Amino acid sequence: MVIPAYPAFNVYSNIARMTTCLGPVYVATNVHKMSNWDAEVIDENNFSLHAPKDEFDQPDHGRMQRQRPADVVGFYGGLTSTVPRLYEVAGFYKSRGVITVAGGQHFSGDNILDALSHGIDYVVIGEGELVIKELLAAIMGQGEIDQVKGLAYFKNGKLFFTGEREKLADFDQLPLPDFSLVRYARIKIYPVERIRGCGMDCEFCTVKGQPRPARPERLLAQISILVETRDARHFFIVDDLFGQYRDETIRFCYILKDYQKRIGKKLDFTAQIRLDKAKDPELLSAMYQAGINKVCIGYESPIAEELKAMNKHIQPEDMLALTKIFHDFGFLVHGMFIFGYPLDEGTHFTMTAKERVERYLTFIRKAKLDTVQVLLPVPLPGTLMTERLKRQKRIYDIRYIGWEFYDGNFPIFEPDAPLTAEEMQASQKQIMTSFYQFKYFLKIGLDILMLPAVIIFFHDIQRGWINWYRYWRNDLLRVLGWGIVKEWNLNFKKNRFVEKLQIAKGHIRQDGYPFASHP
């Protein structure tokens, strides 16, 4: 399995060097359990430990193929911006007679044909763990490929789809993910999951459908194996919405708390959760006791009209009070925003870039968010937002602005007036650079000097430590974030995006479809 590298340095690059993607690990684990098959994962974004690299500091697939030849290579297409690299590496293996398979959220609709025209033999539609096992068995002559549900490929020169596959419901039929299969990586933050799917139906999101839970004991088993075999301490629960199936979630928190008490180790967890879960004090208390002390919350926007277009079902005036509840419980809050969200046709709304930026900065300041992430809307394949923008003929042609710019840092469509594409991108940078600044370096030293006084002042060593740690951590991360934003800006000047944007603005596809034509 290959997880393709990001096209350039971006806001995710640093964290990617400390973790990996869970889906490819699951797929590789299932193959590894098959008789006569072996598997490994190459994560090009976390590729450092004794790793063979080429002259461009990229993974040297030629050397790896000579050292340990692969008969089949799978490619993770969960991030649209990595698709050009995916096609490049797939072409390398395809030219050497290797069977290539790709899957992930990017491959839907016309992108399936695009993949099959760029060095991919088989595209997996949906979850891949069971599909890959049946496909490999069929390749070995144990069954017919056209009977493997959830595949698309060329058959007799024509696109052939084997039919939709029912989604997994019983996760106990899958082996637990084996992270030892990820070669050349240094993993510090381990991704784990209990629930797949999300019922919130946000317009910009590709994750839809009824949530499907595994037993809480299965998630604890994932965690305990990593703790006991890899001395893992830091975990990211990748569920799109932590807290679904509330009672079982609370039960998981308590068995996780008991496990840590039994082994005498305190673990660190981050989870994604909705802001309105602040109304459930029992859930928040259970989470915090279990060591889930960092939450990632999709605020998306402090502007009511944009929230309505997203189907977020929350009002800006409620956000500050709900955020305070998370802080009062002791959680560190990472706020995620989408700047310049496109509104529905007929919505009467005009706001200048300057006014929007001020609205965001004011909200972030009042909410006292610990860290923030501001991205631009991305018309990802398969989302309702993308379909709407296509109908409105607003998406820039993929022939001029390629998939590599679909990472949330570049304007990909014509924004609502009076906002321009250039203003939208400049505003995103302004918000990020206002939050992450080098000046906080001086505060780090002051924080250290103030530690004894803070602890004494609170008359409670534990509470004093927690409050001090929040300030020190946030100041440190603001300095580190300043370095990341600065490096991104330097790389931005090298990619010629401004030139591409000027051309693309004059070439919006009149059929509304932004993607390249196919043979």
Let me know if residue 129 belongs to a domain. yes
Position 255 in a domain: yes
DSSP code of residue 332: E
Kindly report, residue by residue over 150-187, the tens digit of the pLDDT.
Answer: 999 999 999 999 999 999 989 999 999 999 999 999 99
| pLDDT of 457 strictly over 70 | no
pTM assigned to the model: 0.92
DSSP 284: H
Report if residue 427 sits inside a domain.
Answer: no
379 near 395, Cβ under 8 Å? Answer: yes
Q: Are residues 254 and 122 in the same domain?
A: no
**Residues 192, 154 share a domain:** no
Residue 519 has pLDDT above 70, yes or no: no
Is 455 a residue whose pLDDT tops 70? Answer: no
d(CA 308, CA 315): 9
CB 277 within 8 A of CB 314: no
Q: What are the tens digits of pLDDT across the range 265-276?
A: 999 999 999 999
Percent pLDDT > 70 in the chain is 94
Domain assignment present for residue 423? The answer is no
Instruction: State how far the Cα of 227 lies from the Cα of 370, in Å rounded to an integer.
Output: 28
- Check: CB of residue 205 under 8 Å from CB of residue 383: yes
- Residues 69, 157 within the same domain: yes
Report pLDDT digits (tens) over 12-61.
788 899 999 999 999 999 999 999 999 999 999 999 878 999 988 899 99
Are the CB atoms for 35 and 172 separated by under 8 Å? Answer: no
- pLDDT-based confidence at 356, cuts 50/70/90? very high
- Rg, the chain, Cα only: 24
Query: Hey, which bits of 87-246 come out as E strands?
Result: 99-103, 122-124, 151-155, 158-161, 182-183, 189-192, 195-196, 212-213, 234-237
Tens-digit pLDDT profile for residues 273-310: 999 999 999 999 999 999 999 999 999 999 998 998 88
List, for residues 137-157, the tens digit of each pLDDT value.
999 999 999 999 999 999 999
Domain boundary among 116, 146, 161: 161
**What six digits make up the tokens of 205?**
């999101």
Q: How many domains does the chain have?
A: 3
Cis check: omega of the bond before 418, within 30 degrees of 0: yes
Whether residue 430 lies inside any domain: the answer is no
CATH code of the domain containing 12 = 3.40.50
What domain range is 11 assigned to?
A: 2-161
- Give the confidence band of 453 by pLDDT, cuts at 50, 70, 90: low
Verify that 24 and 115 share a domain, yes or no.
yes
Instruction: Report whether pLDDT(252) > 90.
Output: yes
pLDDT > 80? residue 363: yes
- Percent of the chain residues past pLDDT 90, beyond the cut: 73
Q: Is residue 401 part of a domain?
A: yes
CATH value at residue 331: 3.20.20.70
User: Looking at the predicted structure, is the pLDDT value of residue 451 above 70?
Assistant: no
The answer to whether residue 180 is domain-embedded is no
Give me the phi and psi of 247, to 5 degrees please. Answer: -60, -40
Predicted confidence (pLDDT) at residue 516 exceeds the cutoff of 70 = no
User: Do 308 and 404 share a domain, yes or no?
Assistant: no
In a domain, 34, yes or no: yes
Asked if residue 320 and residue 442 are part of one domain, the reply reads no
For range 475-501, the mean pLDDT:
87
Regarding whether 395 and 331 lie in a shared domain, the answer is: no
Query: CA dist 435 to 356, 374, 431, 440, 485, Å?
Result: 15, 10, 6, 10, 10
Helix (H, G, I), strand (E, B) or coil at 130: helix
Distances (CA, A) of 361 to 89, 230, 352, 354: 41, 41, 14, 11
User: Is the domain of 146 the same as that of 208?
Assistant: no
User: 180 vs 40, 174, 226, 242, CA distance in Å?
Assistant: 8, 17, 10, 26
